[in-house]
Structure 1
Amino acid sequence: MGFTQPEFPAVDPDEFVKMPLMQRMRINATDWAENGFGSPYMLHVIYIVKIVVLYSIIGITIANATSGLPAFWHVTEWWNEPIVYQKAIVWTVLLESLNLAGSWGPLAGKLKPMTGGILFWAKLNTIRMRPWKWVPGTNGDRRTWFDITLYFAFLASLVAALVAPGVPSDSLSAALPDNTSGLVSPVLLIAPIVLLILNGLRDKVIFLGARGEQYLPAMIFFAIFPFVNMIIALKLLIVVVWVGAGFSKFGKHFSNVVSPMVSNSPSMPFKAIKRKFYRDFPRDLRPSWVAHVMAHVGGTIPEIVVPLVLFFSTNIYVTIAGALFMVMFHTFIISTFPLAVPLEWNVLFAYASVFLFIGFPNSEGFAPWDMSPAWLGLVVIAALMFFPVLGNLRPDKVSFLPSMRQYAGNWASAVWSFAPGTEDKLNRVTKSAKNQIDQFIEAGMPKNLAELHLQRTIGWRTLHSQARGLFSLLLARVPDIDSRDVREAEFLCNSILGFNFGDGHMHNEEFVHAVQDEAQFAPGECIIAWVESEAFLSGVQHYKLIDAALGVIETGTWKVADAVEEQPWLPNGPIPLHVTWSRTKSVAAQDEFGVVA
């Protein structure tokens, strides 16, 4: 890769677009194994500057200046100040809610413009995705002036909590008599808490974009708990996030995440090392023993064991070692620049590892057993565990984010396919960005080169387990698939909703219906293969085949074991699909629409 120019697969773009779909996928998957997205290093520098300058320096400067603390370079004088941590959370929520943090920029599929979020969520008639139909006052799927007002009120409430000086706290003074900066006023936290919930009930995309599943509990703890209980509850929160994420990686999916993640890492420039993460590059691109070891010995097990050690340790040296390990853990994730680019989230968690466990160690009265009353800790644990437990047992009911399945590879996901010349109908949908292929072309790429570059995202998807089922479904049910334009749903969703963080629930059949209202695809023009996450220990994934004009036309399952054993390009043909339901017009539908329904 060059500093300013991307690296493309060694194939003629004009010839590439004429190839059968799975031949293209083999080229892209093989190229990804060595080069990742092929992004120029300049992009990584932009992201680094953003997290260093915008997120860290400006964020710390605002927190310190409004709390009577010294400048950011006096680290020893503010790193363990409670109000700094509180304002770091509020600052992070603000940036996430503007979409200036996670899922930002070209690595998230945003090129022109690089920001989604506010450009979509402050725009009338853009699509909103309510989480539950039964909630009164949430009908509809388009943004109104009420939604926009609610969104701006939420942003304003965050700014108010961020810039207001700290207020005295008796519980803080009892624990830290020398503290003079106080805490964020609990009164100022009520509005962001309530407004985040209200925004989320109207549009789950805003709630998840703000990372409400993690930061909402933190703000609630800030608002209602005395200081010692607050610190212990915050430890509980971060341990649940870590352990939940580690637990979700047991199974057959996660090793398929590690290989393409390492392949995309600019901190891993040696192609020979990247190839070691695959069984027999380029003939066999399933994860190798190296990927399995890194996934579970270097990732899953420590992500569970080290947080539990931190949580119960009373030995300061063990605590320091554990906290520093988690700092390195999050630093490694940052270095890989994963496509959802949750860099700020990882920086915050690295800081939290030090702030919570070294700044307020168990041995000094901040242990789990120091919560008062003792039963309150059990209530907090039960509340924090509710969605992760439900989400792993019933993934159809809970987004993978509240389920704490970050990076697990066990995601709801989809691949969209368009009949030739029909993808442009997506530009009829009210949004703040053109289709991604158009963004690449407007950035100066020739059309076929733009097509080659965009299809790298579905090549990336094939390296993950669920894609072998998704592409099997398209190959088996869409006879003209080789002539269609095929798109990765996460990136497509980004250009329509302004945000996606790998959550397939954002682009499910309700989203398809909302898109269809304006796009008006004819039957057969837009066919989507969609799959739910694997429920814990079920061994199967439930799929849907969706026609944008007709709705769901088939449901079924495939075995996860069949998916993970296949090559990304399916040389043996589609994996076995078990149909549980299909539309009755099978022959007529196939004749008229070119789709087996």
Structure 2
Amino acid sequence: MGFTKPHVPPVVPEEFLKKPLMERMRILATDWVDYGFGAPKMVHTIYIFKIVVLYALGGVIFATTTSGLPAFWNVTEWWNQPIVYQKLILWTVLLECLNVAGSWGPLAGKFKPMTGGWRFYAKRGTIRLRPWKWVPLTSGDRRTSVDVGLYLALLASLVVALAMPGVSSESLSQALPNNTSGLVSPALVGLSVVLLIVLGLRDKVVFLAARGEQYLPAMIFFTALSFTDMIIALKVLILVVWVGAGFSKFGKHFANVVPPMVSNSPSTPFKSLKRAHYRNYPNDLRPSKLAHFMAHVNGTAVEIAAPLVLFFSTNKWVSLAAALLMIAFHLFIISTFPLAVPLEWNVLFAYATAFLFLGFPNRDGYYITDMSSPWLLVLVVGGLLFFPVLGNLRPDKVSFLPSMRQYAGNWATALWAFKPGCEDKLNRVTRSAGNQIDQLIETGTEREWAEVTMQKTIAWRSLHSQARGLFSLLLTRLPDIETRTVREAEFLCNSVLGFNFGDGHMHDVDMIQAVQDEAQFEPGELIVVWVESEAFGSGVQHYKVIDAAIGVIEKGTWNVADAVVEQPWLPNGPIPLNPTWILEGASK
């Protein structure tokens, strides 16, 4: 890989594209081991510039200048100021809503334009997805003037809350008598809270793009709690995020996430180190013992143990060590440039670790027992745990993000299989971006190489456990699979909805039906194989086969244990599938 030139697999495109699907997956998965997605270093430089200049520097300058604080280079004067933390949360929500933060750019499948977000959310007729059909006044699956108005009002409310100086607070004055910058007006934050909730009930896409599952509770705490209670509640929030994510990594899936993530990291300098994460490159690409260690010791154990130590410690040096470990944890994630590119989120959490636990240490009156009421503590803890607990027990009821399953590998996901030429029908759908193959061609990539690039995304998926079941469905349910165009649903979703963050619920039956309303596929032209996350400890994943023109035509399960022992390219054939329902007349 050069600075401006991407790495391309060592294949002749015309010959490569004629090979059987799983042979292509073997070649591209093997290539992924050494080169990852193959993006030029210029792409990573752009991301670094964006998080350093636009996000971090821009956010700090905005927060300090609007709050009457010293200039941004006087770090010791502002890093532990509560209003700076509040405004950085609001700044992050604003950028996420605009989609210039997470799920942005080429590493998220946005090639041209690189930004989805506002191009979709401020446009009437684009697809919206309501989280619950029973909620009144939310019917329909297209954005109306009401949705656009709510979205623009949310942006305006965030800008106003960011721009206005702080207001005095009696509880803040009692805790920090020398503080002069105050807090963001609870009324202004409260307006943003109301708008985000109302908009979210009509459109979960914008709510999840704003990372509402993590930032909305913080904004509610800003609005409703006294200062000390707010700090303690924020500590509980970050603990739930950390431990929830760590807990979700128990099981057989997460070890399969680490090797392709390390392979894609531009900060991993040696091919030998990348290959060491696989059992026996190039013949056995299952995770090695090193990958299991990285997953469950450096990953799961650290993500659970260090936050618990940090949350309960009253010792200065123990707290400092745990805080530095968690800051390093988030910096490591940034260095890997994961494909959903949640870089700003990791920067914020690194800063939040220092602000909450070093700026307001437990030993100085900000311990869990210092909350003003035990009932309030129960309410905060119970409220924050509700969706993660429900989401791990009933993943079909809760989206991937509120379940706190970041990076866990236990994802709902899908592959879309088009008959020849039928992918073009997606361009009938109202949106602000074309098909990704067309986006790549617009950037100057030759069509054959653009196709190879898009197939590399499904090869990436093949390195994860659930893909072995999805490819097994394609091979056994579609006799014409070798003639079809197969697309990775998470990437495709970005071009249709303007956002995705690994959440398969965004491209489930409801989204497919919304696409079908305009695309008008004929029966058999688009077949989607879709699978739900594994419920905690169940050992099975529930799949659906969906014909865009007909609906669900098959349901069933596969055993996770059968999936994780197979190679990405299924040399032993499809894994065992257990159909539980097949639409009458639908062929297997």
Same fold, judged at TM 0.5 (above): yes
Does residue 58 of the first structure (1) align with residue 58 of the second (2)?
Answer: yes
- 1:111 is aligned to 111
Partner-residue secondary structure (3-state), 1:252: coil
User: Which whole-Å CA distance do the structure 1 matches of 2:100 and 2:480 have between them?
Assistant: 40
Tell me which amino acid in the other structure corresponds to 1:339: L
* 1:403 equivalent in structure 2: 403
Alignment partner, residue 278 of structure 1: 278
Tell me the residue number matched to 1:170.
170
- Alpha-carbon deviation of 1:145? 0.6
Residues in 2 aligned to 1:333 and 1:71: alpha-carbon distance in whole angstroms: 29
Deviations along 1:520-573, whole A, 9 cap, x unmatched?
111111000000000000000000000001100000000000000000000011
**Counterpart Cα distance in 2 of 1:523 and 1:16:** 29
Distance in 2 between residues matched to 1:379 and 1:26, nearest whole Å:
50
Q: How big is the shift at 1:483?
A: 1.0
AA aligned opposite 2:111: L
What residue ranges of structure 1 are gaps of 5+ in the alignment?
591-595
| Amino acid of the structure 2 residue aligned with 1:517 | D
In the other structure, the counterpart of 2:180 is: 180
User: CA-to-partner distance for each residue in 1:274-299, whole Å, 9 max, x for gaps?
Assistant: 00000000000000000000001101
**Residue identity matched to 1:320:** L
Structure 1, residues 141-181: CA drift from partner, whole Å, max 9, x if none? 01101110010001001011111100011101111111100
The residue that corresponds to 2:553 in the other structure is 553
The one-letter code matched in structure 2 to 1:522 is E
SS at match of 1:455: helix
Report 1:19-98 matches (<5 A): 19-98=19-98
Report percent identity of matched pairs: 71
Q: Distance in 2 between matches of 1:299 and 1:317?
A: 23
Query: Structure 1 residue 507 and structure 2 residue 510: aligned?
Result: no
1:389-408 deviation digits (Å, cap 9, x = unpaired): 00000000000100000000
2:329 match: 329
The residue correspondences of 1:515-526 to structure 2 (distance < 5 A) are: 515-526=515-526
For residues 539 and 129 of structure 2, the distance between their equivalents in structure 1, rounded to whole angstroms, comes to 29
C-alpha distance in structure 1 between counterparts of 2:27 and 2:94, whole Å: 40
Structure 2 Cα separation of the partners of residues 108 and 318 of structure 1: 38
Per-residue deviation, 1:269: 2.4
Tell me which residue corresponds to 1:355: 355
Counterpart-to-counterpart distance in 1, 2:70 and 2:484: 59
CA distance in 1, matches of 2:39, 2:443: 14
What is the Cα deviation at residue 318 of structure 1? 0.6
Residue identity opposite 1:128 in structure 2: R
1:342-374: CA deviation from partner (whole Å, max 9, x where unpaired): 000000000000000000000000000100112
Q: Distance in 2 between matches of 1:29 and 1:177?
A: 59
Give the match's secondary structure for 1:38. Answer: coil
Q: Secondary structure at the match of 1:112?
A: coil
AA at the equivalent of 1:333: I
Stretch of structure 1 that moved more, 480-489 or 369-378: 369-378
> Where does residue 450 of structure 1 map in the other structure?
450
Displacement of 1:377 after TM fit? 1.1
The within-5 A match list for 1:130-141 is 130-141=130-141
State the AA in 2 paired with 1:258: V
Q: Report the AA paired with residue 268 of structure 1.
A: T
Q: What is the DSSP-based 3-state SS (H/G/I as helix, E as strand, rest coil) of the residue aligned with 2:563?
A: helix
- Which residue identity is paired with 2:361? P
Quote the residue 1:422 is aligned against.
Answer: 422
Say which SS state the counterpart of residue 86 (structure 2) adopts.
helix
Which residue does 1:593 correspond to in 2?
Answer: none
Query: How much has 1:378 moved relative to structure 2?
Result: 1.6
Q: CA deviation at 1:440?
A: 0.6
Query: Partners of 2:412 and 2:274 in 1: how far apart?
Result: 27
Within-5 A mapping of 1:466-481:
466-481=466-481
What is the TM-score normalised by the length of structure 2? 1.00
Task: Supply the AA of the counterpart residue of 1:444.
Answer: G
Instruction: Give the Cα separation in 2 of the matches to 1:445 and 1:169.
Output: 57
Aligned residue in 2 for 1:375: 375
1:40 Cα deviation (Å)? 0.3
Q: Which amino acid aligns with 1:417?
A: A
SS of equivalent residue, structure 1 residue 458: helix
Residues in 1 aligned to 2:206 and 2:379: alpha-carbon distance in whole angstroms: 27
Distance 1:333 1:558 in 2: 31
- One-letter code aligned to 1:212: G
The residue type equivalent to 2:171 in the other structure is S
Q: Residues of 2 paired with 1:73 and 1:49: CA distance?
A: 18
- Per the alignment, residue 436 of structure 2 pairs with 436
1:157 paired residue number:
157
TM-score normalized with structure 1 length: 0.98
Please give the per-residue CA displacement for 1:63-82, whole angstroms capped at 9, x wherever unaligned: 00000011111100000000
Separation in structure 1 between the aligned mates of residue 350 and residue 209 of structure 2, nearest angstrom: 20
**Correspondence list, 1:239-318, <5 A:** 239-318=239-318
Aligned residues: 588
**Partner Cα distance (1:14, 1:434) in 2:** 24
Counterpart CA distance in 2 for 1:89 and 1:108 is 23
Alpha-carbon distance in 1 for matches of 2:65, 2:39: 37
Question: Which residue is equivalent to 1:147?
Answer: 147
Write out per-residue CA displacement over residues 238-278 of structure 1, whole angstroms, 9 at most, x where no aligned residue.
00000000000000000000010000000002111100000
Equivalent position SS for 2:579:
strand
* Residue aligning to 2:15: 15
